[in-house]
A = this chain, B = another copy of it.
């Protein structure tokens, strides 16, 4: 039997960005919908997650995830609904999450998605606080930051999906928490909603001075999502045996050969540790993280925010917006309502 064709669209990488990604690098293209084979599902996208790390996959360079191929669909975290199942563990109507192509209706192997339990909260949390960003915050803070009561934790990108969770976890572990973000709306959110002890607007304040006054006992843990000049301001304040979780470096993603002050002497002076963090390294412990995060969320000890755009055709703009700091909390694009 021939594949059933129906109108379908996907978003392809058509040119590799050297600096800031724009519409010249991504294109919405008509695509085929095929029927699922044995062990496969036909799913319809409901929500797409756009994430800063995806910028790295647009380069043609070795990294911790393979680069996207030119003239193929971008793929990333999504929530989708099963339209047709050829796998016994799923039935039509199931909500699933996984890394799938940005394609309105897509075929996926049943093994590469997992069912979302809608009783745990909004299905979008599987892309946020109960998904990759939440697990990133959990393992990056617990395993590298090793927070102890009374220590000072600085978080950059503190209003984002990962940062906002780190701020709250830091408070749960008894730290003094200082968040850095790019607007007064975000710094208010960080102190008022997330419970940070202080927040710094890096666009309007002198970060080095503001950090000095917000961290009178120095910095024990730095959860770094951004790198760049903000990180430069943190290094001189590191306490003896400080720990830095290098989770992201969004300030450098679009700057080829980004230069800055060398940091080795800061590390020696404070016997500090920086560790590059990739959540995939913790796959074997995801269950532990998921259980803790679900319990805290259920008990009201964690909260989250989402910035949701609507419409498949608006995915590129939502992605570009990450590099302008447009989002508070998790940036999602809603494609369709579940049936």
Interface residues of A (CB under 8 A from B): 56, 62-64, 224, 227-228, 231, 240, 246-249, 252-253, 257-278, 281
Interface contact A252-B265, CB-CB below 8 Å: yes
Interface contact B262-A270, CB-CB below 8 Å: no
Interface contact A262-B249, CB-CB below 8 Å: yes
Interface contact B273-A273, CB-CB below 8 Å: yes
CB-contact partner of A258 in B62, B240, B261, under 8 A: B261
CB-contact partner of A274 in B267, B269, B277, B278, under 8 A: B267
Interface contact A268-B64, CB-CB below 8 Å: yes
Cα-based distance from A18 to B246 in the complex (angstroms): 32
Report chain B residues within 8 Å CB of A265: 56, 227, 249, 252-253
Q: Which residue of B lies closest to A62 (CB)?
A: B269
Interface contact B276-A267, CB-CB below 8 Å: yes
Report chain B residues within 8 Å CB of A63: 269
Interface contact B276-A64, CB-CB below 8 Å: no
Interface contact A249-B268, CB-CB below 8 Å: yes
Interface contact A267-B246, CB-CB below 8 Å: yes
Cα-based distance from A325 to B82 in the complex (angstroms): 67
CB-contact partner of A268 in B264, B268, B269, B276, under 8 A: B276
